[in-house]
Structure 1
Amino acid sequence: MRIEQLEYLAAVTQHGSLRRASEKLHLSQPALSEALTKLERELRVTLLDRRRSGALISREGRELLPYMSDVLSAVDRLRRAAGDQRPDARVIRLGTVHTATSTLLAPAVGTFQVRHPGTTVEVLTLSQAQIDEGLAEGTLDLGLVDVLDADDPPVGLDGVDLLHGRPVAVLPATHPLAARAQVSVEELRLERFVTMRAGHVMHRYVQRTFGRELPPVAHSTDGAEMGKALVAEGIGVTVLPDYAVLGDPLHRIGAITSRPIAGDRTFLTLQLRQRRSLQQPLPVRELQAVLAARARECRAQDAKASAAS
């Protein structure tokens, strides 16, 4: 009996069928089926009901699941304990919508690197939906997402608020609207627009704010970083959380600027997410603490700037 055979059966249970489990595991369906057949022979019990419409876990398989879950939990604890003892072997996978990357994420990773020089942080640019899915499935350790009007995290995930802000119009510094103290939704409708793709919270915000009257010429992209780059190149204007713009390199050098949206009362939050009731390895907990500390620094800097103005 191999541990991965138990993990395969757990995947079939989680995803509902042999086919979907093979897709999520990036394993061919015949190979997955063969591995589970060998497990059936060893245990002398039928674990899957194989039908023309697909293979599902059997009654006997469901009865054995609690015991298999105990084994997998024990193995997971062992692996994580080993990870705590060997931080040099640890890879932390963090999904982000790339908001506040230069002001929060990059400095935090730099600080973390000094403390854990042998630990790799793999940063993946994903949509919020992909991040939540990756956290739920265990393919991601942490996620940085934007939250619209205090949306609750999905079932099974916990969220820690890092930054709070408001949506702002992001413009090339030389754009005529940059001369205004604020811009209206009606003015933005007349502009070439860069929107986030479906799955990003700012896509939902734009759909809610503009309704059916979207700008006539619109481009779409993944992540705030590319959105700001397109704005800087004069491709169009966009809407992002203010904490994604203020302090950004393109903002500091004067390539882009931002303006409040007239009459808008929407609140946005940058949230750090993880799986609920999961004992994270020490390096992951340390990265969480570094991100939270950097967020406190950002909030203090914003408060100081507001007081000075």
Structure 2
Amino acid sequence: MDLRQLQYLVAVAEEGSVRRAARRLYMAQPPLSQALLRLERDLGVELFTRTSRGVILTDAGRELVGRARDILHQVEDARSAVQATAPDDSATLRIGAVAGPLSAGELTRPILEAFRALHPDVTVRLRDTSFADQVDLVASGVIDVALVRCPVVHDDVDVIPIAAEPRALFVRSTHELASEQTLSVDDVIEYPMLGLDAPEWFSSFWQLDPERGHSLVDTQLPPVSTVQGIQLALAAAPLVVTGCATMARFAPSPLIRAIELPDASPSIIGVAYRRGDTRPVVRSFLEAAASAAAENIALLPNATSSV
């Protein structure tokens, strides 16, 4: 039993549904279900009664949920207490951005400008992150906050969603689908996928694993962890993968085509921070990012605010 399993358990109990809990946690449903089954096997008890309308806690489940909430609160209190004893480093804020400006697309500039306007004396240090390390760098304290692309699942990291934009399908320019303008998920679900070098809860989302019910990643090519890696791999092989629509605008390539995928679940832009980090400079950035995204949402084509 670990903290992540306890967080999953509480989310499912509060939502009354594995599907809704997966959406709340920004993760695919299958790995969440598997994690709960492992927890039940480890404990030797059933925690839920599964029905067609959702899940209902058993007596054992209710007992564990109560204790899980207490444990999670104690862990958060301990983190806050430890951070309160740390030296004041509010004069600098280290900000990560997955794939650089693609992290929040056209919202990146107004978010950074909004924070700098509020805190002109704070030194902002920006760091480009990959799909693989965008969350771990926050959890480890290498960076303080990060503009990320969900889903994000980590015991030590929380995410505030600030915007949602459509996803697109990316293929090489000579692919048989390259002439299409718009496709549905059903149209592409059986095409071999390019694998992403990232945690499973992140890569499965972009590889359409939840919609398919399993992975269809081509294992002949190594997985990639950057936008440039995606472009190079797709140019070399007739594979497909989904990505945020921003990628087509910010990183265009004559070798790659972007095809609209309107029925795919959207790409959520979020701000990640260490759970329990209550430093004023961090909280100020979270508020500035959410406010700037809401005020400037029209800059991000076909996007909606999550605030």
For the aligned pair, the TM-score class normalised by the smaller chain equals 0.5 to 0.7
Provide, for residues 43-71 of structure 1, a one-character-per-residue CA deviation record: whole Å limited to 9, x for no partner: xxxxxxxxxxxxxxxxxxxxxxxxx9999
Q: Which moved more, 1:284-293 or 1:198-207?
A: 284-293
Equivalent residue, structure 1, for 2:123: 119
Provide, for residues 237-262 of structure 1, a one-character-per-residue CA deviation record: whole Å limited to 9, x for no partner: 442333442432417xx654322448
Count of residues in correspondence between the two structures: 222
Provide, for residues 126-158 of structure 1, a one-character-per-residue CA deviation record: whole Å limited to 9, x for no partner: 446x4444434433311333334xx7x544533
Alignment of 1:214-229 (within 5 A): 214-215=217-218, 217-228=220-231
In 1: Cα distance, 2:80 partner to 2:199 partner? 35
Equivalent residue, structure 2, for 1:22: none
Provide, for residues 207-233 of structure 1, a one-character-per-residue CA deviation record: whole Å limited to 9, x for no partner: 4445254447544211335324544x4
SS of the residue corresponding to residue 250 of structure 1 reads coil
Change in Cα spacing, 1:109 to 1:277, as seen in structure 2 (3 Å) is same
Select which of 137, 141, 144 maps to 1:141. Answer: 144
Alignment of 1:222-261 (within 5 A): 222-228=225-231, 230-231=233-234, 233=235, 235-250=237-252, 256-261=256-261
Q: Is the 8 A contact 1:158 1:273 kept in 2?
A: yes
| Unaligned 5+ runs, structure 2 | 1-77
In 1: Cα distance, 2:292 partner to 2:236 partner? 32
SS of the residue corresponding to residue 199 of structure 2 reads coil
Amino acid paired to 1:271: G
Change in Cα spacing, 1:288 to 1:234, as seen in structure 2 (3 Å) is farther
Equivalent residue, structure 2, for 1:269: 268
In 1: Cα distance, 2:104 partner to 2:112 partner? 11
Question: Structure 1 residue 161: deviation in Å?
Answer: 0.8
Amino acid paired to 1:242: C
Q: Is the 8 A contact 1:168 1:240 kept in 2?
A: yes
Tell me the C-alpha RMSD between the 2 structures.
Answer: 4.3
In 2: Cα distance, 1:281 partner to 1:117 partner? 14
Alignment TM-score, normalising by the size of structure 2: 0.53
Greater gyration radius: 1
Change in Cα spacing, 1:119 to 1:177, as seen in structure 2 (3 Å) is same
In 1: Cα distance, 2:228 partner to 2:284 partner? 26
Equivalent residue, structure 1, for 2:195: 195
In 2: Cα distance, 1:145 partner to 1:305 partner? 16
Q: State the percentage of identical aligned residues.
A: 13
Equivalent residue, structure 1, for 2:293: 295
Select which of 66, 75, 78 maps to 2:85. Answer: 75
Equivalent residue, structure 1, for 2:28: none
Q: Is the 8 A contact 1:109 1:121 kept in 2?
A: no
Question: Structure 1 residue 168: deviation in Å?
Answer: 2.4
SS of the residue corresponding to residue 195 of structure 1 reads coil
Question: Structure 1 residue 159: deviation in Å?
Answer: 1.7
Q: Does 1:178 align with 2:151?
A: no
More helix by share: 1
Alignment TM-score, normalising by the size of structure 1: 0.53
Change in Cα spacing, 1:295 to 1:246, as seen in structure 2 (3 Å) is farther
Q: Is the 8 A contact 2:195 2:219 kept in 1?
A: no
In 2: Cα distance, 1:234 partner to 1:279 partner? 46
| Unaligned 5+ runs, structure 1 | 1-67
SS of the residue corresponding to residue 247 of structure 1 reads helix
SS of the residue corresponding to residue 140 of structure 1 reads coil
In 1: Cα distance, 2:220 partner to 2:295 partner? 39
Select which of 100, 103, 111 maps to 1:101. Answer: 103
In 2: Cα distance, 1:273 partner to 1:102 partner? 12
Equivalent residue, structure 2, for 1:158: 158
In 2: Cα distance, 1:102 partner to 1:258 partner? 18
Change in Cα spacing, 1:299 to 1:224, as seen in structure 2 (3 Å) is farther
Equivalent residue, structure 1, for 2:64: none
In 2: Cα distance, 1:182 partner to 1:142 partner? 35
Q: Is the 8 A contact 1:171 1:178 kept in 2?
A: yes
